[in-house]
Chains A and B, each alone.
Chain A
Amino acid sequence: MAAPALRVKGACRTYEAAAGPALDHVDMVLDRGEVLAVLGPSGSGKSTLLRAIAGLEPLDSGSIEFENPDERLAVVFQNAALFPWLSVRENVAIGGRYRRNRDRYSRQHVEELLSILGLVEHADSYPDELSGGQAQRAAVGRALAIRPDILLLDEPFSALDPALRTILQSWLRDLIDRLQLTAVIVTHDVDEAIALGDRIGFFAGPKGFTRQWTTTHGSPARKDILAHYASRDSEAVSV
């Protein structure tokens, strides 16, 4: 069997001045071509896990192993965080200005992405002229422009209003299928996890995952997930 795209082993992280650890021996596996939705309540430490995978947060112990030693990651944050001094096109293309991405980046790919993302007519606009949904799509484009092996999404639509969120979720799912992306999406929204994940891992707290559902053959019972959300079995499982 092929090695997983990403394997997290025994990840531990305690913040200074915190009462307990944010991550306490968390394990996780992500296969190539799958989308794992990390579902959990606010403050459960799921964003810490994502930041650790992204290299933004050091681990106290444990390891994060990638299938490809020269693995490229890209992160979409809750906030689009576009550079206000660059046009939409320049924002999407920003990764190309970093030496590390020279081998994967091409100007033509940026144009393709702008068209896939429906941003061609806004390509020369500046971020302050975009709606929230357009800005978040541009942020997804900026991440994809470096052809990441793994796309990490941290509550990407939670700052948007609910109707728009639903539209963007199905848009992102289509995009994932079309580009065959491997992704981890962190969310506290059960419907978002169902809409986007091939697999849903319930991240209860520092100990990590307590339950998982696979959604490849139709949606898992929403009721089941909600029941688990309420009961919070504390037994850790490997995901």
Chain B
Amino acid sequence: MKIEGTWILAPNEACAHQQIDDETVVVQADRGTASVLNTIGGQIFSLCDGKASVDEIVDQLDLEYDLEKSEIRQQVEQFAQDLMKQGLIRRLS
């Protein structure tokens, strides 16, 4: 599944999350799991807020990280795919 830049992603309704120190814990009641995301993972998850598009998430991270934008996009898309596979986020539009 290819993640498009115009997609708007949001947390799954059955999820709740909590940032602790520099890690984020995402709880999935419907699957009975809790996942720990590292700093950047937690940041991407938080930016999947049902408002920002994937392009806007990439733009936001591009301001903060000293990496090629194409590399940031690749990482965001890959990570978003993983989050969708795990059922932590879903596509809103």
The yes or no verdict on A and B being binding partners is no
Listed in ascending order, the chain A residues whose CB lies under 8 Å from chain B are none
Listed in ascending order, the chain B residues whose CB lies under 8 Å from chain A are none
